[in-house]
Amino acid sequence: VTNGGKTTLAEKLKKMLPNCDIISQDDFFKPESEVETDERGFKLYDVLDALYMDEMVRSIHNWIKSPASSGVVTEELQNTCDNLKNTEDIYILIVEGFLLYNYEPLNELWNRRYFLTLPYEECKRRRSTRVYQPADTPGYFDGHVWPMYLKYKNEFEENAVNVVYLDGTKSQEELFSCVYSDIIQELKKLRE
């Protein structure tokens, strides 16, 4: 969901996990001149056609082929607990975005899938506090953003995508703790 805390969560995880990098779907938006406009005059940014998805997939595949040379900086972690010992040779890629599970070429790549949810009112409130370029036009949230969120959410749920739902109204710390614990469990399995 838009403004659900995806980027914030991804950045917190990157700081706490070894050899971790992020690819953000927001970095693959087409320029405004290439984004379609509907009959109401809304720019259709909340659809897959507004993104260079092939480029995103290429970037992910390039990272997978050579994560050590991807530019991941192995900084001294803020948390050097026993859970992360012996993980020097494991690389973690966090792919964050709002239309990831609806793009078939990506669906074979995920080890874990998380989906942040927000109720309509909270999502609209958060969206109203953000500044976008180009700016949201009046009625854009109700006329395009929210309906597209519901459409794509229903679409991937119909396709039985295995996803962990996260309540975006929870604190950043609670969300981080939940996902971090899950990733630590995955790392333990990989070390065994």
Please say whether the beta carbons of 191 and 82 come within 8 A: no
Q: How far apart are CA 143 and CA 15, in angstroms?
A: 37
Residue partners of 6: CB distance under 8 A and separation at least 6: 96, 97, 98, 116
CA gap 95, 110 in Å, rounded: 9
Check if 182 is active-site.
Answer: no
Do residues 122 and 144 touch, judged by C-beta distance below 8 A? no
CB 42 within 8 A of CB 148: no
Cis ω on the peptide bond leading into residue 134 (within 30° of 0)?
yes
Query: H or E segment at 165?
Result: strand 164-167
- Residue 128: burial class (beta carbons within 10 Å; 0-12, 13-18, 19+): exposed
Q: Please pick, among 26, 27, 49, 142, the residue that the annotation labels catalytic.
A: 26
Catalytic residues: 26
